[in-house]
């Protein structure tokens, strides 16, 4: 910023706000929380939590910090995948990753979780050997 220039401070939600909201939603789902549960943990209404996730309302810095703490991530997590402010990086197979995380957490025993991890490791090694 050049001294003496006046810049308009944006007030409306934009692509970055929608991206951050999407990342909040993804993390909430990974943890198996409902929007209502997240709202209660944050001390906001269900409607406000919904607006955050949709990127309709901007999330203030302090509130984003509280969301990060509540969801057990660093604030930078919500910006992962942004490209230099020019646009959004196409998401990796996020839905499959979320589904895998949810299914992993739903397994009833640590033994079953270990078996799933071992299966993934074996599949990766098999691909390396085949290549």
Break the chain into its structural domains and give their ranges.
1-90, 92-131
Q: Which CATH architecture has domain 1-90?
A: Orthogonal Bundle (1.10)
Determine the average pLDDT of the residues in 60-88: 84
Q: pTM for this one? A: 0.60
Q: What digits encode the pLDDT tens for the residues 18-69? A: 999 999 999 999 999 999 999 999 999 999 999 999 999 999 999 999 999 9
Residues 14 and 11: their CA atoms lie apart, in Å, by: 9
Q: What angle do CA 129, 114, 124 make, to 5 degrees?
A: 15
Residues 131 and 127: their CA atoms lie apart, in Å, by: 6
């Amino acid at each position: 910023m050049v001294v003496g220039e006046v810049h308009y401070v944006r007030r409306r939600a934009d692509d970055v706000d929608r991206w951050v909201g999407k990342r909040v939603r993804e993390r909430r789902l990974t943890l198996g929380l409902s929007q209502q549960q997240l709202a209660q943990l944050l001390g906001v209404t269900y409607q406000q939590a919904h607006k955050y996730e949709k990127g309709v309302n901007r999330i203030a810095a302090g509130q984003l910090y509280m969301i990060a703490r509540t969801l057990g991530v660093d604030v930078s997590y919500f910006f992962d995948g942004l490209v230099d402010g020019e646009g959004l990086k196409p998401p990796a197979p996020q839905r499959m990753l979320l589904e895998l995380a949810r299914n992993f957490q739903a397994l009833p025993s640590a033994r079953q979780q270990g078996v799933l991890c071992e299966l993934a490791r074996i599949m990766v090694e098999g691909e390396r050997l085949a290549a």
